[in-house]
């Protein structure tokens, strides 16, 4: 028997069981548009009067289920540590090697820098108003990190490397993860519950809404932005090494 046949024999019964489970599970769901989950409706009703935040999703992420978000942040942190352990130091390009990806078009370079600045600005805006309008630390963090990728695409690896140095990025990432836990522990030491909102709810619809939730928001934004930039750095460093190999080492 060849590999293809074995693969089919293993996959078919598993797919059959999965299909039955899927059909059974879907048939138990409420018809589309008629969901009446009590928890969600309750949170929609009480978030604004209780927490003074107009974005219910961000309030859930940082307040009602804040401890889950801490776990989520640590998952991201652990994954980035794993990627760095696997990739860092393995065939790092020297400055001489990467000279060939230099961008020679001035227009591309200027538009690239403008685009990167715009992405970072949008990211900061998403984070800052995360508790008011759609957005938040996770979304804004990714937008900020994407600005750095635009810089790589339009200005070359070397210019990008000037921004993304490991000795600057790694502490930022650690700070983001540690700040969330520190804020939680600090409230515990002060005698309040873990991640207690020590500033009070603030004023709804303004930058002060949510009180100390915005600190958690910014901690997550820092962690997510730094984690993404570290990931891009490691993968792009590998990619540049492969470019050097393809064109032949001279």
Q: Rule CB under 8 A: which residues touch other proteins? A: 3, 7, 11, 15, 18, 22, 26, 29-37, 39-41, 43-45, 47-48, 54-57, 60-61, 65, 68-69, 72, 75-76, 78-80, 82-83, 86-87, 90-91, 132-134, 136, 138, 205, 231, 234-235, 238
Least separation in angstroms between residue 218's CB and other proteins is: 17
Judged by beta carbon, residue 49 or residue 191, the one nearer other proteins is 49
The most distant pair of C-alpha atoms in the chain lies apart, rounded to whole Å, by 70
Least separation in angstroms between residue 249's CB and other proteins is: 16
Judged by beta carbon, residue 31 or residue 193, the one nearer other proteins is 31
* Residue of 69, 188, 214 whose CA lies nearest to 136: 214
In angstroms, the CA 120 to CA 242 distance is 29
In angstroms, the CA 242 to CA 200 distance is 53
Cβ neighbors of 193 (< 8 A, separation 6 or more) are: 187
Show the tokens assigned to 57. Answer: 């999703």
Judged by beta carbon, residue 81 or residue 103, the one nearer other proteins is 81
Least separation in angstroms between residue 36's CB and other proteins is: 8
Judged by beta carbon, residue 143 or residue 155, the one nearer other proteins is 143
In angstroms, the CA 130 to CA 142 distance is 13
């Amino acid at each position: 028997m060849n590999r293809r046949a074995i693969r089919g024999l293993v996959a078919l019964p598993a797919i059959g069981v999965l299909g039955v489970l899927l059909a059974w599970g879907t048939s138990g769901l409420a018809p589309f548009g008629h969901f009446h989950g009590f928890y969600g409706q309750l949170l929609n009703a009480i978030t604004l009067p209780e927490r003074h935040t107009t974005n219910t999703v961000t309030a859930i992420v940082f307040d009602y289920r804040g401890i889950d978000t801490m776990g989520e942040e640590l998952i991201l942190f652990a994954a980035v540590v794993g990627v760095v352990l696997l990739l860092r130091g393995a065939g790092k390009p020297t400055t001489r090697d990467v000279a060939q990806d230099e961008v020679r078009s001035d227009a591309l370079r200027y538009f690239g820098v403008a685009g990167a600045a715009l992405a970072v600005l949008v990211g900061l805006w998403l984070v800052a108003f995360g508790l008011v309008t759609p957005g938040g630390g996770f979304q804004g963090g990714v937008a900020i990190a994407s600005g750095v990728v635009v810089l790589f695409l339009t200005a070359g690896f070397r210019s990008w490397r000037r921004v993304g140095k490991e000795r600057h990025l790694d502490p930022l990432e650690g700070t983001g993860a540690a700040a969330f836990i520190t804020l939680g522990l600090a409230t515990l030491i002060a005698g309040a519950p873990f991640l207690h909102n020590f500033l009070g709810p603030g004023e709804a619809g303004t930058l002060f809404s949510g009180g100390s939730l915005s600190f958690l928001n910014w901690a997550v934004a820092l962690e997510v932005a730094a984690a993404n930039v570290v990931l891009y750095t490691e993968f792009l460093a590998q990619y540049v090494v492969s470019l050097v190999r393809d064109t032949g080492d001279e």
